[in-house]
Structure 1
Amino acid sequence: MKTKRFEKKDLIWFALIIGFALLPVIPGVFDSSFTQHVFILILLFACMSQSWNIIGGYCGQVSFGHSVFFGIGAYGAGMAVVTYGLPPWPGALVGAAAAALVAVAISWPVFRLSGHYFAIATFAMVEIFNRLFMVWYWVGGALGLDYPFVDEGIKNFIWFENKIPYYYGALVLFIFIFGTVRWLERNRLGYYLKAVREGQKTAESLGVNSTLVKLLAMGISAFLAGLCGAFFVQYNYRVDPAMVMSLDMSMKFVLITILGGTGTFFGPLLGAMVLIPLQEYSRAYLGSLGSGVDLIIFGLLIVLVIIKQPRGIMGILSDLTKKRPASNEGTRRR
């Protein structure tokens, strides 16, 4: 198998990793706890959206049910700590694996549907699991799970006074999830995903097993979403069904990716870098106007961007880079 060369995209990604890693040591950047919180959420929501991007962007199967897999991963880590008195690490892995198994089991019949029928089925999936966890007392029911006081440190992945360790934890998750997607892009499975997205029947006529490809994509996507859920519960010290298994959470996966650019490597990160600061700062400074102001701004921004460029921010950036050489060539001819 040939070793593939590094592309410009890889260099940009490595530069981003270095830049994110150095942010906490730059004077004045991370002085505020709120700023640290915003950067943690940017990385976390970028990871969450990138996990959805595998099935929704690269494979073209628009799912609105990813909060289920996110929630299963969250409950895996939460139950390890609260119910069994263990560190969160084994629970996070078990939760992510359970999310992948549930995703494959559900998707096997649901993938027989297509288009808006598939989307409606995934909507229903969120409501079913939300109600199930509401009445399932083994996982805490509607009250959820509240973390006990445990020792700070990497063993329990909990810190009370400083958010910087959480930031670096989110950065490790970011490197892992984005690295996985980049690996998919450069390998055969990534090409199969795009082939199914562009035309399932055409891909099948060329020998691609579309059902297997979609199931693999859903399993990988759910596993990564489960890891994001495990980080989320450690960061918030509690979990309940409304917190993680809601249509609101599922829509954030989708909308951040759409804003940044579906089916693109950097789209989820760009979407998170715009929407998460907008969400957090509008809540902080415009909260007196009433609840939902951030969602109104959120929706207006997405509508404006999509009207301008359906491919999102990545499409706008692509158009700008294409126009620049053309304008330079015109200047030389004059």
Structure 2
Amino acid sequence: MRDTSPLAPAVGPWLIFLAVVLAPLAMSSGWINIAILTLLFIYLCVAWNIVGGIAGQFCIGHSLFLAAGAYTSTLLSTQFGITPWLGMFAGAALATVIGIFIAWLSFRYELPPLSFALVTIALAMLGYLAISSIDLLGASRGLTLPVRGTPAMYQFRSDVTYYVVILLHVVAAVALSMWLYHTKIGLYLRAVRDNERAAHAIGVPVLRYKMLAMGISAALTALGGTFYAQYLQYVEPHTFASINIVIQIVLLTVVGGTGTVWGPVVGPMLLVPAGEWLRHSLGGSLPGVHLLVYGMLLVIVIRFAPDGLVGALERARQAWRFRRGVKEVATQ
């Protein structure tokens, strides 16, 4: 009897993933910083993929949620002395409310997918302009976190500790994504993605599940924003509220494979270290060269593997199994 447990077929990818991400612990501090950035983008891509891939709703407004998590936890820490370990949940709650409201506002009128993308990109740009223009408690000028250096305030003296923290974030996010993918929620979300009218016809509460996917994705993204703020110890609009970071998240996920569990992991794991190496080696003479490489790879993937690298590997595996089955039948 075939094992249908969601964790059973993923033992191999989990082992490969853990082996790769634990390797930087034996390397220099520079590689650990690159590894932290890689894990952060893996986490953000997994969060985006819940609504943008599994649910199939192309959202380009996640900079709002990233900024909500970063600014909320930072302001609570600097103004009221509340530890970011608690403030991050306040930021996640705020991002969830914003995300659910955007989903309700967009989907209750059954807008087409492109319209939803335009709505979210417009709201993201408005959010960036608002944060940049309105100097609320110094938010537009940038907020520098006080250096306390205590784990109780989400600050650590070693980059290795930050690495372990974001690794735990990634493991939890991938496990949640895997669980969602193989439960009734994931089945409903994929049904909505593949054919929304058919899903509605068989009784799937489409609006409710779109809002659920958006809320989960927003909350996870806000938690990532808190980590990023604590790691940089500085929060400013361009880093956290600009649409550039959302475009990078979407690009990395598309290359890896949207709508899959491991696509948001594979894309950043391959491209972020390569991009950082290019940026540091050629950034002085060719600024932005890593973004050019990202764009070229995206064109190549869309041309030859429209379902991403993970999708291409899965199709190759299925083709190999089919050919092997045909040979076994022929030899009988």
TM-score w.r.t. length of structure 2: 0.92
Distance 1:315 1:18, change over 3 A: closer
Q: 1:159 aligns with which of 152, 156, 160?
A: 156
Aligned partner of 1:63 in structure 2 is 59
Aligned length: 326
Aligned partner of 2:11 in structure 1 is 11
Distance 1:220 1:292, change over 3 A: same
Aligned partner of 2:220 in structure 1 is 224
Q: Does 1:234 align with 2:230?
A: yes
Aligned partner of 2:277 in structure 1 is 281
Residues 51 and 217 of structure 2 are in contact (CA less than 8 Å); yes or no, is this contact kept in structure 1?
yes
Aligned partner of 2:251 in structure 1 is 255
> What's the secondary structure of 1:138's corresponding residue?
coil
Task: Return the letter of the residue paired with 1:192.
Answer: Y
Q: 2:292 aligns with which of 276, 291, 296?
A: 296
Aligned partner of 1:23 in structure 2 is 23
User: How far off is 1:140 after superposition?
Assistant: 2.0
State the alpha-carbon separation in 2 of the partners of residues 277 and 13 from structure 1: 19
Aligned partner of 1:103 in structure 2 is 99
Aligned partner of 2:242 in structure 1 is 246
> What's the secondary structure of 1:251's corresponding residue?
helix
Q: Quick check: 108-117 or 229-238, which moved more?
A: 108-117
State the alpha-carbon separation in 2 of the partners of residues 136 and 187 from structure 1: 43
> What's the secondary structure of 1:141's corresponding residue?
coil
Aligned partner of 2:133 in structure 1 is 135
User: How far off is 1:289 after superposition?
Assistant: 1.9
Task: Return the letter of the residue paired with 1:120.
Answer: L
State the alpha-carbon separation in 2 of the partners of residues 234 and 206 from structure 1: 46
Cα deviation, 1:250-294, whole Å, max 9, x if unaligned, reads: 112211110000000000010001121122111110112232111
Aligned partner of 1:75 in structure 2 is 71
Q: Quick check: 225-234 or 282-291, which moved more?
A: 282-291
Distance 1:224 1:325, change over 3 A: same
Aligned partner of 1:322 in structure 2 is 318
Q: Quick check: 58-67 or 78-87, which moved more?
A: 78-87
State the alpha-carbon separation in 2 of the partners of residues 43 and 289 from structure 1: 27
Task: Return the letter of the residue paired with 1:213.
Answer: Y
Q: 1:172 aligns with which of 154, 168, 177?
A: 168
> What's the secondary structure of 2:136's corresponding residue?
helix
Distance 1:291 1:114, change over 3 A: same
Q: Does 1:308 align with 2:304?
A: yes
Residues 80 and 90 of structure 1 are in contact (CA less than 8 Å); yes or no, is this contact kept in structure 2?
no
Q: 2:267 aligns with which of 265, 271, 282?
A: 271
Sequence identity (%): 32
Residues 135 and 141 of structure 2 are in contact (CA less than 8 Å); yes or no, is this contact kept in structure 1?
no
Aligned partner of 1:205 in structure 2 is 201
State the alpha-carbon separation in 1 of the partners of residues 5 and 191 from structure 2: 22
Residues 21 and 168 of structure 1 are in contact (CA less than 8 Å); yes or no, is this contact kept in structure 2?
no
User: How far off is 1:148 after superposition?
Assistant: 1.5
Cα deviation, 1:129-173, whole Å, max 9, x if unaligned, reads: 1111123333423212111121x232122234x210011001110
